[in-house]
Every structure is written in C-alpha cells, then in structure tokens.
Amino acid sequence: MRGVGKSTFGMKLAQEIGWEFVDLDFLIQEDLQIDSLGEWITDNGIDNFRNLEYVYLQKCLLFNKTIISTGGGIVEHLQAQTLLMAHYPVIWIRTSLENISSNLENKTSHRVPLNIYEAYAKRVPLFEKIYDYQFNYSTLCVETNSENFNLFCYKVLGKKCPLPNDFSNFGCVSSSEDLDVIEKSQYLTAVEIRADFYESIENSYKDLNIVKEKLKGGLSIFTFRGNVDEKYWEILMNAGKYLPDFIDVQFEFGSKWLENFESLRLAFPSIRIILSYHTEIHNQDFESIFNFMCSLSPDIVKFISPCFALPLTVLPHIHFSLGLENLVTRIKNTYFSPVRLGKSTGKGQLSYEELKNFQLSLNIMPEKKCFYLAGNNISRSPAKKLYNRLFSSYGLDYTYEFLETNSLDEVIQTLKSPYCLGMSITIPYKESIIPYLDEISSEAKILGAVNTIIKRNGRLIGTNTDWHGLYYPLKFRRIHKTYNSAAVLGAGGTSKAAIYALSKLKFKITLWNRSKERLMLGNWPCMITQDLDEIKNANVIVSTIPGNAEVLLPWLSNKHIVLESAYFPDETFIGKQANQSGAVLITGKEMYLYMARYQFRIFTGKDISKEIIRNRFPIFKN
C-alpha cells in the first residue's frame, strides 16, 4: 500500500547492508523526464501506467543486490502478479489505515489521489497471493520501524537470532492487550506469543512483529498448544511468514510428525526451533524421549515433565516439572525461564520479580552479573563504555569491567565465578584459554582463537566474532563484481580472522609480512610474500598491523578498497595513505562496530543493528 513506508524503510535497509535501492515510481518518472507522475497518469491512463510499471519491474528484477520498492497498485496488473509470485523474496509491509493516512499527509504530490480504504479492500487479497514474508508495525516512529525492519530483513537473508544465555527469560503474552506491559519489562530477553490463547490467530501473527517495538532488541517466540494435526502445522507455517525468532514445536513420535517438522525447518531456515515436550504422566522412559529430541538438533529443548534429572547434553535446554514440585523446579531452571506478564499461561508460572527474588534468596542467581574484557594493554578499548551504555539503554542489569592481568589462571577463575556471565578475550589469551572451555564454535576451531565466551546451562562456550568485523563491512560494501583479489598486511592473530573472512567472500588472497619467520611459522591457506609490490594489484587491502606501523604503499589509488583493523590512532598510517590516494577506506571503528554488534548479541541474546550503535555512539560515525 502507498504510505506504509516502503521507500523510507527500503533506503535505510540499503544503507545498512550496502545494496542498491530502486523506487520504481521515481525511476519511471526520471526516465520519462516529467515533474509529476500523477499528471502523466491523468493524461495517459492508469492502464498504460500499469503496463509501464510491469516493464520496469521486469528490468529491475534482473539487478543484483538491489532492494526494489514498487507502487502498491502494481499487484492489480495480472502479469506483474505472476512475475512477483515467481520472485523470492517479496515482503509485504503492513500497518493500520490510520497510520497510512498520517504518513500520506502532504506526501502525495507525485501520484494521483487515492481512496486508501477502497484501494486497501481491493488489494489485500492480491497481496496475500504474492507475499513471502509480512512485516507489521503500529508506531509512527520512523527510527524504531526502520531498525526493526532491518533486523527483520537480516532474517530474510538467512541470519538467525542469537541464542539466549544463562539467567535469560521470556514473558508470556496471551492477548494483544498484554503488549503494553512489555514496555515496562525491558529485562526480558524474549516475548512468547501464546497464539492458542488469542481470540484471533491473525492478531497473534502480527504481534510477532509488534513486540519488537515494545521490547528493545528483544526476541519473539511463536507458540500454539493444541492437537498436532494438519491444522497445527498450517498455523506454524503461517506464523513463519512473520519471521519470529523462535517457533515452539510440540514433539511427538511418528513419521508424519517428522516429515512436517523437517518441512517447517526447510521452509524457514532462519527461524530457530524450540522443541518442547509437556507431560504430567510418570513412569515414562524420559531419558530415551529426551535423547531422541536432542538427536533432531533443535536449537533449544524444552522438557517439561516429572523427571528430576536429564542426561548430559550440549544442547541448550529448559527443564522443570508440572507436578507438586513445579515451583521448586521452575526456580532451579536458570536457562530461558518463562515468566508471567499478564494472565498466567502455565501452571505455577512466576513473574520475573518473583523468580528473581527466589533465585537470589537461594543463591541460585548471583547478586551482580558481569561481563569482562580480559587481556593486556586494554585501557584504550572502547568496550567498557560501549557495553555499559548499551546495557543501560536496553534496561539490562549487567556491568562490563576490564580484567587487566598477566595471569591466565586469574582469567579462568574469574570466568568460573558465579557472577561472571561471559567474557571478551584479547591478546595474549585468545589461544591459551581454549583448553579450559567446554565447547568452541566451528569458526573458533578454524581460527584457533576465541574472543568471546558465554555461559549456557553452566557450560563455557567460546566463539570468535573478530572475523565478523572484517567480513560484513566488505560483504555489505558496493564492490565491483570484478574485484576478486585481496592482500592482508601482517601475520598476527587478526590476520587469521582476515583470511577466514576473505575466503568466505571468495577472494584470492596474498599475505604480506616483513618478517620471513612469521610467514614460515604459520600454515597459511594462501600465497605469502615479503614484497609489497607483489600485492599492488590486489583490489582489497586489509591491514592487520598496528595503527602507527610505517608501511608505505605508494601504489595505492582510487581503485583500491582499504580495510583498516586498528581503531587508534584516529588516522592510522595506512588510513592516511588511503585517504590521500582516493582509495575507499573502511576504518577500524567500522570493523569494531560489526564485531561489537555480534558480541553484544552473543552476550545478551538481544538483537541489535549496527545503526543503533552508530546513531547512539558518535565515536563510530566515520
């Protein structure tokens, strides 16, 4: 529909991910060299305009990495309908007619007048035929809506939400009226939409998007309790089009259930699965049931039963019982606990304050919850100020502290303390900490280094977000399709992350270093050299050397892209040469921004876009 914000959201999304943006109306107007599209339509007729729209749509769909904003009326053209139905993905942006009317005030000069109520009634059935995903909003705050739309589209592009960590929780909502309570509940990690309590299933779908307006950075869970029949799976598949962060799936044995379960996962690969089992019946083989559920590799297992102990598993899991012992087991569960917001949606459900007070009084929850940066020479890191301001902004009762130490043992003891929820790791502990962890991610294994550790069900889990800071600035940059070679300066720890990121982007890589010994020591999966002239034809130069290291690159030109990993001094030696030569410069602050974004998600379970950090922390504005 006209006035829902397609162009506004589309342009901001294009800036976020580095794609091109095309507004079909303005492209047509520009090509026709006219001042008013409305006048052209009046003179030439709406049918001719619809045909013209269709022709331009055909052209634009051939563009690579392009966000296309069409006019809402394009769905009235039969061939355009067919074209859009064959294209993936198509996002339908929806809001109330009152919001549309407000958005359209003084903004319709380029189009003919429109009765939005008549147009809406006519077009909704057509939109329903075409869309792949639906994004809803209720507020008129453009900044909030744009940020949430960006996060929504990351999931369209296949990015999953972060997994919650220890002492995380989710609030249970049984109707749209409960949503206002969420704004006063910023401590929540997520909100569960209990669709089976809703009077209208359609409203429960829309609320999956609306909760993002109420809970900053919060995650959404779709749950429908009922008979696991064809209608049940249809409801889950429909919910998937609104891209909740999680879908709760009731576990049952049987080939038909397994077929539907795999179909759901295949249809929505960016939605995480909570596989749940609920029973009050004793004398079952709970261990076999639990182990089989784990074998299906869901993201989280939710096991609600009279069973008091579960087998050891690496999977995150929620566990409490439904019998007389229900209250005690709810209190003992420290991972992603369900809490009451309005009406209780489960037997014995506690409010957040009730759960917190019980856990504090029984020494289950620590009185303070801290994250740390552990390493040497860390005083200049922006992490402490950045994370503490983000924690405060998001209503989280966490603190972030520096752990400046030369003792690995001190790092390990701090990490194992009950009040430590996680840790940023820097030099010299990125490699030496690994043997003390319970699990490390595949990226950390490949890189042989960890920079982020969190606790999940009491287990220490390490990962590496350094490569994100190098990968995404290049992935989302408008790079010419012929750019396929890259050079990395330096052979230290960051260079491993750079090579990993560049290899994921399919670049041919050459590593340069002054010292032959460092080059020969590493088992580098790329070409190596000590001659700077051998890398002058590389399209992308990634510097992993100190910011004040005087390495001269006299051949730099406006045809190069330079990515600087050092974030101080403000203008590094390499960065100064890039600016003087006219090369495209991606600063170390930009790299740090992406790294911090993904580390914050891992620490808190809260989703966040880089624009939130950039807008609120001027230090990250280039």
The CATH number of residue 68's host domain is 3.40.50.300
* Separation of CA 285 from chain center: 38
In this prediction, residue 163 has a pLDDT band, given cuts at 50, 70 and 90, of very high
Domain assignment of residue 325, yes or no: yes
Structure tokens at 510: 């050459």
Domain identity same for 149 and 234: no
**pLDDT for position 324:** 57
Which residues on adjacent β-strands are paired with residue 486?
509, 540
**pLDDT for position 106:** 56
Pairing of strands 540-543, 561-564: parallel
Residue 375 has pLDDT above 90, yes or no: yes
Predicted confidence (pLDDT) per residue in 89-129, tens digit: 999 999 999 988 888 875 644 566 678 889 889 999 999 99
Helices 78-86 and 46-60: crossing angle in degrees, nearest 10, is 20
Alpha helices in 169-273 (DSSP H): 179-182, 201-214, 230-240, 255-267
Mean pLDDT on 569-595? 94
Residue 65 DSSP code? S
Domain identity same for 38 and 92: yes
Q: φ, ψ for residue 139 (rounded to 5)?
A: -85, 160
Out of 464, 492, 513, pick the residue that ends a domain.
Answer: 464
Domain identity same for 354 and 319: yes
Residues 6+ apart with CB under 8 A from 232: 224, 226, 250
Nearest to 170 by CA among 96, 214, 103, 220: 220
Domain assignment of residue 614, yes or no: no
Q: How far is residue 282's CA from residue 266's CA, in Å, rounded to a whole number?
A: 34
Which residues on adjacent β-strands are paired with residue 317?
301
Domain assignment of residue 92, yes or no: yes
Mean pLDDT on 168-178? 94
Domain identity same for 226 and 281: yes
Out of 464, 499, 531, pick the residue that ends a domain.
Answer: 464
**pLDDT for position 325:** 66
In this prediction, residue 280 has a pLDDT band, given cuts at 50, 70 and 90, of confident
Please classify residue 472 by burial: count the beta carbons closer than 10 Å to its beta carbon, then call 0-12 exposed, 13-18 middle and 19+ buried.
Answer: buried
CATH number at residue 204: 3.20.20.70
Domain identity same for 178 and 89: no
**pLDDT for position 342:** 79
Domain identity same for 148 and 24: yes
- Active site residue ranges: 430
* CA 616, 617, 618, 622 torsion-angle sign: negative
Cα-only R_g, the chain: 26
Residue 620 DSSP code? G
pTM: 0.88
Domain assignment of residue 602, yes or no: no
Domain identity same for 180 and 262: yes
Domain assignment of residue 606, yes or no: no
Domain of residue 132 covers 6-154
Residue 503 DSSP code? H
**Do the Cβ atoms of 121 and 127 come closer than 8 Å?**
no
Domain identity same for 357 and 278: yes
**Do the Cβ atoms of 492 and 544 come closer than 8 Å?**
yes
CATH number at residue 391: 3.40.50.10860
Please classify residue 260 by burial: count the beta carbons closer than 10 Å to its beta carbon, then call 0-12 exposed, 13-18 middle and 19+ buried.
Answer: buried
**pLDDT for position 11:** 95
Mean pLDDT for the chain overall: 93
Residue 622 has pLDDT above 80, yes or no: no
Domain identity same for 583 and 455: no
Domains identified in the chain, total number? 4
Predicted confidence (pLDDT) per residue in 201-259, tens digit: 999 999 999 999 999 889 999 999 999 999 999 999 999 999 999 999 999 999 999 99
Domain assignment of residue 600, yes or no: no
In this prediction, residue 476 has a pLDDT band, given cuts at 50, 70 and 90, of confident
CATH number at residue 533: 3.40.50.720
Residue 266 has pLDDT above 70, yes or no: yes
Q: Residue 39 is which amino acid?
A: E
Structure tokens at 600: 């914050």
Q: How far is residue 401's CA from residue 385's CA, in Å, rounded to a whole number?
A: 9
Domain assignment of residue 24, yes or no: yes
Domain assignment of residue 44, yes or no: yes
Residue 497 has pLDDT above 60, yes or no: yes
Mean pLDDT on 153-167? 94
Mean pLDDT on 187-194? 96
Asked if omega into 618 is within 30° of 0 (cis), the reply is no
To which residue do tokens 């009762």 refer?
397
Nearest to 83 by CA among 95, 67, 70: 70
Residues 6+ apart with CB under 8 A from 375: 403, 404, 425, 426, 427, 428, 429
Q: Residue 77 is which amino acid?
A: H
Q: How far is residue 582's CA from residue 60's CA, in Å, rounded to a whole number?
A: 31
- Count of Cβ atoms closer than 10 Å to residue 311 Cβ: 10
Q: How far is residue 100's CA from residue 347's CA, in Å, rounded to a whole number?
A: 42
**Do the Cβ atoms of 424 and 374 come closer than 8 Å?**
yes
Please classify residue 156 by burial: count the beta carbons closer than 10 Å to its beta carbon, then call 0-12 exposed, 13-18 middle and 19+ buried.
Answer: middle
Which residues on adjacent β-strands are paired with residue 342?
none
Highest mean pLDDT among 101-105, 307-311, 420-424, 515-519: 420-424
